[in-house]
Amino acid sequence: MSDILVLGGGYTGMMAAIRAARLTRKTGGRVTLVNAAPAFTERLRLHQTAAGQELGDHPLAELLAGSGVRLELGRVTAVDPVRGQVRLDARDGGERVLGYDKLVYALGTVTDTSVPGVDEHAYTYDDHDSAVRLSRRLDDLTRGTVVVAGGGLTGVESAAELAETRPHLRVVLVTRGRPGSMMGVSARAYLDAALERLGVEVRSGADVTKVLPDGVELDGGELIHSDATLWTTGTKGLPVATESGLTVDAQGRIVVDSALRSVSHPDVYAVGDAAAITQKFGVMHGTCQGGIPAGLHVAGSLAATLRGKDPAAFRFGYVHQPVSLGRRDAVVQFTHQDDSPRRWYLTGRAAIRYKETLCASAMPTFKLLKRGLVPVWMFRLTDTL
């Protein structure tokens, strides 16, 4: 028997755990999934939660039923790759130590709060509860200003969602570059027009240097009043990865080889946002688009290893950059494998349907994986499944 421990029940960890249980069943694999919360968090929809929208409840125990995966609820506090142990604060109280033969680290990342005042005065999307806290704060405001810091896809989606669902509030998007700067010219122009239509005030070319209790300070010294500040400017790995002695990069992500094994401790695999995965175009950035195929691939790597075979190298290429612009608009930029923009893009209703299909795909995919099936569209992202 071989004990396989998967840390993190997000999109990537769930895919890895369910498929690993299926693929290693005949070779003695016993898979345990560790997660801090009892429910699956749809991270792709946290901007909707922040805007006050009620989303579905997805208990992990129900999603894992029939998969052969055992669920352990607790927050990981330490990983010991030498002893093959993980320490956690159990949800039902007390501390537990779990042993493993193979570990899949899929704990993701947290918001980089290195700018002064972010920890004390800003809201983040580190988990579902964080988005709920922002929503409750906005419920208390009959008027006022919300500052969204960061012009990446998360910041853009949040600013648009808040402006649409809470039109009585002033929404200011502060970004170092242009919003959606990774998109092509035409798709970015559509995004700009949508933000203007929704009434979002865009402050490009500005850095927030400090977050205050009632505002933000920009690099030129200007102060912008804020009744609530959402911070989406970047992420970093959890301290537990660095403290474990695993080799990590400058962002605290675990550095892995082509089979997604830690370069310093090969019994540890890392996937999703928590991993520094190098492809021919460079190091992948953290998205569900890349994390889900990596989770599926690592299950195959584990199965191959338990059969005494060498695991295949992971190969991946980006396909798209889908962005919701409230509930009634969206834009999807199609990309080359290195995530640079192609000429083609979708807008309006077609883009809404495209984005919603992606966001809603996790639950059906979990069911398919329990039956040993992999959705056809995933083969477009990786040729190693």
When the candidates are 3.20.20.80, 3.30.950.10, 3.50.50.60, 2.40.110.10, the CATH number that belongs to 113-231 is 3.50.50.60
What are the tokens at 196? Answer: 């203007």
Residues 6+ apart with CB under 8 A from 186: 345
**pLDDT exceeds cutoff 90 at 247:** yes
* Residue entry with tokens 């998360």: 154
Question: What pLDDT shows up at residue 92?
Answer: 85
CA distance 131 to 41: 11
Identity at 366, one-letter amino acid code: F
Of the candidates 41, 50, 287, which has an alpha carbon nearest to the alpha carbon of residue 159? Answer: 50
Q: Where are the chain's structural domains?
A: 2-110+235-317, 113-231
Question: What pLDDT shows up at residue 381?
Answer: 58
Identity at 34, one-letter amino acid code: V
Could you say which DSSP state residue 288 is in?
H
* Residue entry with tokens 């370069």: 263
Strand 144-149: give its sheet, edge to edge. Answer: 122-123, 228-231, 144-149, 169-175, 201-204
Tens digits of residue pLDDT in 79-123: 999 999 999 999 888 999 999 999 999 999 999 999 999 999 999
Mean pLDDT, rounded, for 167-171: 97
Report the length, in residues, of the chain. Answer: 385
Tens digits of residue pLDDT in 101-112: 999 999 999 999
Question: What pLDDT shows up at residue 72?
Answer: 97
Of the candidates 158, 145, 133, 160, which has an alpha carbon nearest to the alpha carbon of residue 226? Answer: 145
**pLDDT exceeds cutoff 70 at 384:** no
**pLDDT exceeds cutoff 70 at 151:** yes
Class of domain 2-110+235-317 as given by CATH? alpha beta
